[in-house]
């Protein structure tokens, strides 16, 4: 089992998490993507929407994280006791705009041809999951993905993708059991 022991003081910086330590399992909802690469920004956009809703205030055991395009940092962000929900542009062969949900740790072998994270991360999600498996990191990650229509330079998310934000949020709520 690979373990990174955090410096004791690091805990003091995680104010939002510290406040939540008495509320049981911590759910980390992480949106990945680049908000200037059109539909690739869907993960970030959903986190923005959840923040606007003050979702984290209403759900004390939920931490919202704008993961940007940092892939490898996922390993450093999660802890064994966390349940992680990742929101990202994902292509598993579904239709454009179709939302899919699956457990990352239930997949025995990641096949990039079938599971293609569309984000411009340093290591993409499939590689990071693979790395976590190789490191024997125990993780409980649910991926909520949507197949993008456009990935290219642009600030706007396609209407066909944007209209699915409520569905993605419903999936998040369902996942944390509210």
Partner 1 sequence: MAENINIEVSPISRVEGHGDLVIDVKNRKVEELIMRIPESPRFFEAMLVGRNWNEPSHITSRICGICSVAHTYASIKATETAFGVKPSEQTLDFRKLIIHHECVQSNTLHVYFLAAPDFFGVGSVIPLVKTNPDVVKIALRLKQTANEMVRIIGGRAVHPITTVVGGFTKIPTEEEMMNMKNMLKSTYPDLEKSLKILKTLKVPDFERETEYISLTDKKDYALYDGAIKSSDGWTINDQQYLTKINEKVVKHSTGKHCWATRDSFLVGALARFNNNYDKLSDKAKTYAEELGLKNPCFNTFMNNFAQFVEIVHSIDDSIDLIDKIMNSGLDESKIMADINIKAGRGVGAVEAPRGLLIHDYTYDNEGKVSKANLIIPTNMNYANVEKDMDAYLPLIIDKTEDEIRFSMEMLIRAYDPCISCSTHYLNVKLINK
Interface ranges with partner 1 (CB under 8 A) = 2, 4, 6-7, 9-10, 12-13, 34-36, 40, 66, 68-73, 75-76, 112, 118-124, 127, 130-131, 134-135, 151-155
The answer to whether 34 and 120 are in contact (CB under 8 A) is: yes
Work out how close the CB of 178 gets to partner 1 at its nearest, in angstroms, rounded to a whole number. 27
The answer to whether 88 and 117 are in contact (CB under 8 A) is: yes
The residue among 22 and 153 lying less far from partner 1, judged by its C-beta, is 153
Q: Is 150 helix (H, G, I), strand (E, B) or coil?
A: coil
The answer to whether 40 and 148 are in contact (CB under 8 A) is: yes
The answer to whether 88 and 143 are in contact (CB under 8 A) is: yes
The residue among 22 and 152 lying less far from partner 1, judged by its C-beta, is 152
The residue among 129 and 171 lying less far from partner 1, judged by its C-beta, is 129
Work out how close the CB of 170 gets to partner 1 at its nearest, in angstroms, rounded to a whole number. 27
Work out how close the CB of 24 gets to partner 1 at its nearest, in angstroms, rounded to a whole number. 25
Work out how close the CB of 70 gets to partner 1 at its nearest, in angstroms, rounded to a whole number. 5
The residue among 61 and 126 lying less far from partner 1, judged by its C-beta, is 126
Nearest Cα to 55, choosing from 68, 44, 46, 43? 46
Nearest Cα to 163, choosing from 178, 146, 139? 146
β pairing state of 62-68 and 27-32: parallel
Work out how close the CB of 90 gets to partner 1 at its nearest, in angstroms, rounded to a whole number. 12
Q: Which residue has the tokens 């990641």?
A: 110
The residue among 132 and 165 lying less far from partner 1, judged by its C-beta, is 132
């Amino acid at each position: 089992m690979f373990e990174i022991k955090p410096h004791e003081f690091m805990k003091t910086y995680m104010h939002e998490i510290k406040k939540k330590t008495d509320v049981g399992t911590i759910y980390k909802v992480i949106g990945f993507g680049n908000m200037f690469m059109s539909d690739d920004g869907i993960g970030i956009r959903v986190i923005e929407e959840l923040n606007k809703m003050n979702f984290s205030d209403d759900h004390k055991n939920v931490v919202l994280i704008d993961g940007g395009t940092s892939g490898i940092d996922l390993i450093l962000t999660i802890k064994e006791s966390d349940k992680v929900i990742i929101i990202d542009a994902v292509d598993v062969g579904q239709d454009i705009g179709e939302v899919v949900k699956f457990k990352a740790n239930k997949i025995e072998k990641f096949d990039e041809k079938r599971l293609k994270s569309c984000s411009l991360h340093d290591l993409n999600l499939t590689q990071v999951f693979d790395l976590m498996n190789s490191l024997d990191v125990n993780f409980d990650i649910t991926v909520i993905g949507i197949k993008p229509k456009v990935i290219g330079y642009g600030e706007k998310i396609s209407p066909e993708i944007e209209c699915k934000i409520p569905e993605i949020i419903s999936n998040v709520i369902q996942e944390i059991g509210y």
